[in-house]
Structure 1
Amino acid sequence: MQESRRERKKQQTRQLLMETAIRLFSEQGYEQTTVAQIAAAADVATKTFFNHFQSKDEVLFTANRERSALALEVIADRQPGESVADLLTRTYNAMLADYLAKDADGRERALMETYVQLVMSAPALQAKALHVAFDVQRDIAAALLAAYPDELDAVSAAAVVGATWGAALGASLTSMERGDPEEKFWAAMRRGIDIALHGLEANRPNAR
């Protein structure tokens, strides 16, 4: 029980640091914000910040890595007879369910929107985002290859992950730029995934 309380406190502090950092990045700019300022605004020691994050840019990409870890778990649990497309769809559903479970008060959505704005406006963050995305896609492709050793090779696994990831990202960013409500945002992402996995003809709006 004691360990459980300690872990909850750790997660609360981590979440507070993430929210504080993103708020300061948004208010005064990413480059202008220091780790010391983030720690002070969160009312913790600078050392505490570094107990959770290696650097200030890691604050923005932690959620990406955590959700990629969930994706790897789902892929490793491939069911007998499950196709690549079905497994990737199930992976998306699991990641969405995890996001919604953590977004009861809408804060995750607000943080995600701010994250996108920051990454789009800061070249250093764009470079970091590409690096993180490459690492995540590589890990997921490796997991997919391990799950389907008789159906995929390294190239085809990388291709299907890249196509699915790119389609989901492109569709979701377009939806966000249009100011779509959350339901349409997730529907757009799902449609992007469906197009990548099943083709455009099967996913035209008038075909639904």
Structure 2
Amino acid sequence: MAPTELAAGQTLRERKRAQTRERIVAAGVRLFSTKGYDDTTVADIAAEADIGTRTFFGYFEGKDALLFGAGNDRIDIALSTIAEASPDDDPAGVLLHALDAAAKATDDDFMSEQAVLRLRLVDSVPAVRARGAQAELAATRDIAAALLAKFTQLDPAQAAGIAGAFVGASTAAVQAVLHDSSGLTAPQRAERIRSAVAAGLGVKE
């Protein structure tokens, strides 16, 4: 892309901000991989990204937020997909559509270096595991609230159940594909994840 060419819908300021965010994430991933999560500080990440710590906090609340940032983006996509759905749509089908939209909106098909590292750290670092559990609970709560607002046929328990099935199936499917993805292309990995989530939601395709 030429220096003066902007991504569709982006201003120059937005493009520069996105590039800085990507640089911070890349720096964090490098340091978490080589130095370890616990021994990496925000100051380390800022120095690696060639920015000040104040600039870092303009993008992320802390190093855990950097690690889980992509997941938050996908939750936002799920919420917007629910908001745009028809009240007559099938709630589980809408969530599958949200999964497809998230995969198209990101280039990593849920398996970027950041995502792979996050899953590995969830297994090995208690603080990251706790942050992951907190993120899943928050995602389930927010998606359940959105489902309840859109689909009046659902009661709070049903909305929570569908949201929990979606979040849990998504997390478990990504972990399973991560540990058994040798030789698979990105579309094949995405299809395995989608198929597993559909099964978790009880959707037959």
Structure 1 regions of 5+ residues with no counterpart? Answer: 204-208
**Residue of structure 2 aligned with 1:83, choices 72, 84, 90:** 90
C-alpha contact (below 8 Å) 1:171/1:189 kept by paired residues: yes
- How large is the Cα RMSD of the aligned pairs? 2.1
Q: Which runs of structure 2 are paired with 1:1-208 in the superposition (5 Å)?
A: 4-79=11-86, 81-100=88-107, 103=108, 109-149=112-152, 151-180=153-182, 181=184, 182-198=186-202
Aligned length: 195
| Pairwise CA distance, 1:197 | 2.3
Q: Deviations over 1:175-197 (max 9, x none)?
A: 11113423332222111221122
SS at match of 2:26: helix
> Which amino acid in the other structure matches residue 122 of structure 1?
V
Q: Percent identity?
A: 35
Q: CA deviation at 1:172?
A: 2.0
Give the superposition deviation at 1:25.
0.5
Shift of 1:110: 2.1
Task: Mark the CA change 1:87 to 1:107 in structure 2 (over 3 Å): closer, same or farther.
Answer: closer
- Alignment partner of 2:106: what SS? helix
Instruction: Give 4+ residue runs of structure 1 displaced > 4 Å after superposition.
Output: none
- Paired amino acid for 1:34: T
Cα shift readout 1:11-32 (whole Å, capped 9, x = no counterpart):
1111110110111001010010
Counterpart residue number, 1:206: none
Q: Given residue 20 of structure 1, which amino acid in structure 2 is its aligned partner?
A: A
Deviations along 1:141-199, whole A, 9 cap, x unmatched? Answer: 100111111x1011010001111221222122111111342333222211122112226
User: Unmatched 5+ residue regions in structure 2?
Assistant: 1-5
Describe the superposition over 1:117-160 as per-residue Cα deviations: whole angstroms up to 9, x where unpaired.
122211100000100111011000100111111x1011010001
Distance between the aligned counterparts of 2:41 and 2:169, measured in 1? 34
Could you state the TM-score of these two structures normalised by the residue count of structure 2?
0.87
* Amino acid paired to 1:30: Y
Q: Please tell me whether the aligned partners of residues 27 and 48 of structure 2 are also in contact (alpha carbons under 8 angstroms).
A: yes
Deviations 1:56-99 (A, max 9, x none): 11101111111111110110111253111221121111111112
Q: How far, CA to CA, are the matches of 1:163 and 1:45 in structure 2? A: 41
Measured at CA, do residues 83 and 59 of structure 1 come closer, stay the same or move farther in structure 2, by a change above 3 Å? same
CA contact (8 A) 1:164 1:192 kept: no
Contact 1:78 1:87 in 2 (8 A): yes
Structure 1 equivalent of residue 3 of structure 2 = none
Structure 2: distance between partners of 1:17 and 1:107: 19
Counterpart of 1:164, as a letter, is F
| Higher normalized helix content (fraction of residues) | 1
